[in-house]
Structure 1
Amino acid sequence: MNIEMDTKLLQAMPGIKLGINYYTKITVSESPQMLKGRLQLFQEQLFFELEDKSVTDFPGIQEWRTVWKALGADPNRYRHSTEALMRRVKKQNYMTPFHSAVDLNTFFSLQHVIPAGIYDFEKIVGDINVSTGTDTDGYDGLNGRFNSLHNILLLKDGFSPFGSPFVDSVRTAVTEETTEALHIFFIRPSMDATEALALTTACGNMFTSISGGEVCSYVLHEGQTSIIVN
């Protein structure tokens, strides 16, 4: 599988980077108590931190709002997934455990203040293009409704779009049957490629420490716009 970043996306936002973990031989199941407790505690700590500051005071939130504007989207109307998570935490509407893959994805997104998505590798059709959505791009999302992706960064395979920093699709959702997955981290543009790879690798190591299996880590950026995953 080839994963390639569109040149027009890089022209609009030169610093854009994607961390990519390819997992094989993983086991997705109910999260261990350690992960459940860590996710709950982290949200409680964030809640107290958010009592004295705004969600948009976090640099990661602000940077992705800037990306939205650079691509032509309204960050107030289409909040990226991490901002949406943070606003839930601020209201004490905490995320409840789902399964190990989703819970880890939520934890990483909150910990690093960046959008992240995890996708069942076997449900992806052909190669992946990372680009900006047109007025015809959209899908049925995990939020229970159809989502337009016009002017929003997206992941598109040979069939249709399936992921974005906004909301992910139902089609490629990870389940407890998943054994291979792609984990995408929408890195802050200000972070350099070396830091981005370190973050992606650390998340991959934590993921496989809980879900087993093996991981290969990559970063897409202006200096490396495509990779082959197999």
Structure 2
Amino acid sequence: MIEDIRVDPAVSALRPDFGVLVMGVYGLRNGPTDDRSRAWLAEAAEKAVTVDDPRVEAWREAYRGFGAKPQRTRPSVDALVRRMPPPEINQVVDAYNAISIRHGLPIGGEDLARYEGTARLVRASGDEPFEIVEKGEPAIDHPEAGEVVWRDDRGVTCRRWNWRQCVRTRITEETTDALFLLERLAPLSAEELRAAGDELTGLLEDVTPGIRVESRLVWPG
């Protein structure tokens, strides 16, 4: 499945330095936040990048490039480093949030059982469905034309590159197979991206020994 994940040329033209480490993780046994995952978040918070880190600023620049205002809809890593202590969600989400704030890169986590077709990063036409909850009720929103979005065959899975995930594919305590998208812009290096992936794998193996992990680096050029 991860071999088919692609970045559309229109996105590469916008940011030729964009790369993503794609990880498929199979056989997870997730659970609510516990002392272990709480400790991951606390340790990461002590070593977190700052909001003026060049790796974070690169994402604000990328948002401006497709017309978004990053002070209103912040890149995920920007929002996380401004929210200390980090939120406690569940063990798997805590794991990738800890890696995100430590390395200064956005990480998306998706439930593969909820996916329809292959993930791809594209610029939206504007009519794609985006499933949300509004005032406690399921609702459908739509991206703006030209917005950078992750999507599958059913609709948008994450708006504004990594700003907001749809409710359909989010990782829950019932998730067993997951897709992780570790996203890079310069100046974050390929070596640091791989190191972040290795660290995430280690935490997920702590959550569930014996998981199977596949990874693929989609790199510029």
Q: TM (normalized to structure 2)?
A: 0.84
Give, in whole Å, the separation in 2 of the partners of 1:220 and 1:142: 32
| Structure 1 residue 188, shift from structure 2 partner | 2.5
Structure 1 contact 21–201 (Cα < 8 Å) conserved: no
| Structure 1 residue 142, shift from structure 2 partner | 7.5
* Letter paired with 2:172: T
Change (3 A) 1:153 1:170: same
Q: Secondary structure at the match of 1:61?
A: helix
| Structure 1 residue 112, shift from structure 2 partner | 1.2
Equivalent in 106, 111, 130 of residue 102 of structure 2 = 111
Structure 1 contact 21–183 (Cα < 8 Å) conserved: yes
Structure 1 contact 196–219 (Cα < 8 Å) conserved: no
The one-character-per-residue Cα deviations of 1:165-223 (angstroms, maximum 9, x if unpaired) are 11111000111221100011111333343442333233223222223312112211223
Change (3 A) 1:105 1:77: same
Equivalent in 195, 204, 212 of residue 198 of structure 1 = 195
Give, in whole Å, the separation in 2 of the partners of 1:143 and 1:202: 35
Which structure 2 residue ranges, 5 or more long, are not aligned? Answer: none
Alignment length, in residue pairs? Answer: 212
Give, in whole Å, the separation in 2 of the partners of 1:130 and 1:153: 7
Change (3 A) 1:166 1:143: farther
Aligned to 1:81: 76
Aligned to 2:148: 153
Q: Secondary structure at the match of 1:127?
A: coil
Aligned to 2:6: 4
Equivalent in 108, 114, 123 of residue 114 of structure 2 = 123
Equivalent in 213, 216, 220 of residue 218 of structure 2 = 220
Q: Secondary structure at the match of 1:158?
A: coil
Q: TM (normalized to structure 1)?
A: 0.81
Structure 2 contact 44–99 (Cα < 8 Å) conserved: no
* Letter paired with 2:197: T
Give, in whole Å, the separation in 2 of the partners of 1:159 and 1:203: 28
Equivalent in 28, 31, 55 of residue 30 of structure 2 = 28
Which structure 1 residue ranges, 5 or more long, are not aligned? Answer: 224-230
Aligned to 2:164: 167
* Letter paired with 1:207: L
Change (3 A) 1:104 1:141: farther
Give, in whole Å, the separation in 1 of the partners of 2:201 and 2:69: 32
Aligned to 1:210: 207
Give, in whole Å, the separation in 1 of the partners of 2:201 and 2:133: 23
Change (3 A) 1:143 1:23: farther
Aligned to 1:58: 53
Structure 1 contact 139–146 (Cα < 8 Å) conserved: yes
